[in-house]
Structure 1
Amino acid sequence: HRRSVYGNVNPALYFFFFESARPLRVSPQQLVDSGPVPPPPKPKSPSAEATRQQNEEILNVILPPREWTEGNQLWMQQVSSAPCTRADVINLEEELDKKIQQRQARVTGVCPIRRELYSQCFDELIRQVTINCAERGLLLLRVRDETQMTIAAYRTLYESSVAFGLRKALQAEEGKTETEKQILDLESEVRDLKKQLNEQKAKTESIEKREAEKRLLEEKKHLEAIHLLKRTNEQLKVVFSNNNILRQKSFSD
């Protein structure tokens, strides 16, 4: 997994656009001359050679070479700098469809596999464009990096929103438990208050009944006393009347 100033490059991308690997360093026992030395390549014009080297340097910056060790050899695999043709673009499209079908990427919705394959395809298009025009390739690289940064920002925002939602759900669940406990306590308090209310009502009814009976008894006694006083009054009136009659007779005699 290599990193450049332009961002990360996934090793899974390399099936599209890397050329064959070649040894970068060999062990001493493998330095024996095993055949005739091939003739040097034909010299190229300085401007074409400089352009080619510049394109290779830009390609190595955009897509850094792979390095690994096998046995005593250090191998390096660089991005191919061979110019592309129309057939290469058609093969790229066919390879993309083939990989999508092989890895069973989803056609719609969010699919990391489909995203990875299309990112690889876009990197291959950047490689092809960079070979013909380095400036256009660098501009496409900026577009790719900006798109990846935007997707990463959306992913971070989504993950933070999910975490925020989970925290709120947990807080709501905790608040629900506390609320349910408070409801049970209040219901218990209501039952106790109702019990006290019924007891007070029973006491009130008992007191009212006792006072009513007491009042009836007092009224009965009061009526009896009135009747007694009236009867006494009548008797006194009779006695007083008799006394007056006797007095009048005594005066007349």
Structure 2
Amino acid sequence: MIPPADSLLKYDTPVLVSRNTEKRSPKARLLKVSPQQPGPSGSAPQPPKTKLPSTPCVPDPTKQAEEILNAILPPRELYSQCFDELIREVTINCAERGLLLLRVRDEIRMTIAAYQTLYESSVAFGMRKALQAEQGKSDMERKIAELETEKRDLERQVNEQKAKCEATEKRESERRQVEEKKHNEEIQFLKRTNQQLKAQLEGIIAPKK
């Protein structure tokens, strides 16, 4: 950061200059009136009366311009030039005191320069950290997007496997029901056959007794 150069610039409150006679101040219009010859009575004519604008709450342009000028070029108190003048006057009376004050001035300038360097380095460090944070943020957002995509793929695979599992269970349940029905029919058939064979055997054995 380059320190602003010392300046002895002095300025007064700006004054609005205009060529429009309608906007001139009453004092300017009075100065512009040409003298007239005295009338028969010997008395000088009275200057025309000016009417002040009756617009209320109008901001003062002079004050507003002064505030803007102070914001653009703020007034400075030139301590350095005053200190240099003090060093010069003290050196005339006592060279040792002048050299001591010169050393104090140089130490002050070195301290201010060190603080400026520290401020600039801290600003640069902050900017680097901000850029790294932005870059890390973009990387994290990209990684989050990839993980969300992977999550959706895994959820889709889980849903597919669940659908396959449900279909397999349904198919096996139906097959088991069919097998049980077939097994029950075979058992019933064997039972009937057994009853028939038993009845035939009893019919064969009964007459021999």
TM-score tier, shorter chain, comes to: 0.5 to 0.7
Q: Which one of the candidate residues 178, 181, 186 is aligned to 2:142?
A: 181
Question: TM-score scaled to structure 1, two decimals?
Answer: 0.53
Tell me which residue corresponds to 1:200. Answer: 161
Is 1:126–1:141's contact at 8 Å kept on the other side of the alignment? yes
1:104 counterpart letter in structure 2: P
Amino acid at match of 1:158: Y
Aligned equivalents of 2:141 and 2:198: distance in 1? Answer: 83
Shift of 1:235: 1.1
TM-score (norm 2): 0.64
Q: SS in structure 2 opposite 1:197?
A: helix
Q: Distance in 2 between matches of 1:150 and 1:189?
A: 57
Cα drift, residue 119 of structure 1: 1.4
2:115 is aligned, of 154, 162, 172, to: 154
Displacement of 1:230: 0.9
User: Which structure's relative contact order is higher, taking Cα pairs within 8 Å and 6+ residues apart?
Assistant: 1
Shift of 1:125: 1.3
- The answer to whether the Cα contact below 8 Å between 1:13 and 1:120 also exists between their aligned partners in 2 is no
Match of residue 105 from structure 2 = 144
Q: 1:238 aligns with which of 188, 199, 204?
A: 199
Q: After superposition, give the CA deviation of every residue in 1:101-129 in whole Å (9 maximum; x if it has no partner).
A: xx623xxxxxxx55xx2112111111111
**Regions of 4+ moved over 2 Å:** 10-15
Q: CA deviation at 1:246?
A: 2.2
Matched ranges for 1:25-64 at <5 A:
none
1:172 is the counterpart of 2:99: no
What's the offset of the Cα at 1:197?
0.8
Aligned to 2:74: 104
Instruction: Indicate the RMSD between aligned Cα atoms, in angstroms.
Output: 2.1
CA distance in structure 2 between the aligned counterparts of 1:210 and 1:127, rounded to whole angstroms: 109
Check conservation: 1:130, 1:137, Cα contact below 8 A: yes
Cα distance between partner residues in 2 of 1:215 and 1:14:
106
Pick aligned residue for 2:87 from 120, 126, 129: 126
How far apart are 1:144 and its partner, in Å? 0.9
Please tell me the residue identity of whatever aligns with 1:131. Answer: I
| CA positional deviation for 1:184 | 0.6
Shift of 1:12: 4.3
CA offset at residue 237 of structure 1? 1.2
Q: State the one-letter code of the partner of 2:179.
A: E
CA distance in 2, matches of 1:177, 1:130: 63
Name structure 2 gaps, 5 residues minimum. Answer: 10-69
TM superposition shift of 1:244: 1.2
Residue 247 of structure 1 deviates from its aligned partner by: 2.3
2:59 aligned partner: none
Q: Percent identity?
A: 63
Q: Tell me the amino acid that sits aligned with residue 171 of structure 2.
A: R
